[in-house]
Amino acid sequence: DAGVIQSPRHEVTEMGQEVTLRCKPISGHDYLFWYRQTMMRGLELLIYFNNNVPIDDSGMPEDRFSAKMPNASFSTLKIQPSEPRDSAVYFCASSMDRPTDTQYFGPGTRLTVL
Amino acid sequence: ELKVEQNPLFLSMQEGKNYTIYCNYSTTSDRLYWYRQDPGKSLESLFVLLSNGAVKQEGRLMASLDTKARLSTLHITAAVHDLSATYFCAAAHLYNQFYFGTGTSLTVIP
Residue B30: list chain A partners with CB under 8 A: 100
Q: What is the band of A1 on the pLDDT scale with cuts at 50, 70, 90?
A: low
Nearest to A48 by CA among A59, A38, A39: A59
Give the number of other Cβ atoms within 10 Å of residue A32's Cβ: 29
Q: What is the pLDDT of residue A67?
A: 98
Write down the pLDDT at residue B44: 97
Question: Are the C-beta atoms of residues B45 and A103 closer than 8 Å to each other?
Answer: yes
Sequence-distant (≥ 6) Cβ neighbours of residue B10 within 8 angstroms: B104, B105, B107
C-beta of residue B110 within 8 angstroms of C-beta of residue B48: no
Contact between A34 and A55 under an 8 Å Cβ cutoff? The reply is no
pLDDT tens string B33-85: 999 999 999 999 999 999 888 999 999 999 999 999 999 999 999 999 999 99
Residue whose C-alpha is closest to residue B9's, from B106, B91, B108: B106
Beta strand B61-66 with B55-58: parallel, antiparallel or unpaired?
A: antiparallel
Q: Is A106 on the interface with B (CB under 8 A)?
A: yes
Nearest to B96 among A100, A103, A105 (CB): A100
Q: How far apart are CA A77 and CA A10, in angstroms?
A: 14
Sign of CA dihedral B5, B75, B85, B107: positive
Q: Which residues of A touch B92 (CB under 8 A)?
A: 99-100
Distance in Å, alpha carbon of B20 to nearest chain A alpha carbon:
21
Q: At B30, is the pLDDT very low, low, confident or very high (cuts 50, 70, 90)?
A: confident
For A36-58, the pLDDT digits (tens) are 999 999 999 999 999 999 999 99
Q: How far apart are CA B52 and CA B19, in angstroms?
A: 22
Return the closest-CA partner of residue A26 out of A88, A92, A82: A92
pLDDT at A100: 86
Q: Is A76 exposed, middle or buried (0-12, 13-18, 19+ CB in 10 A)?
A: middle
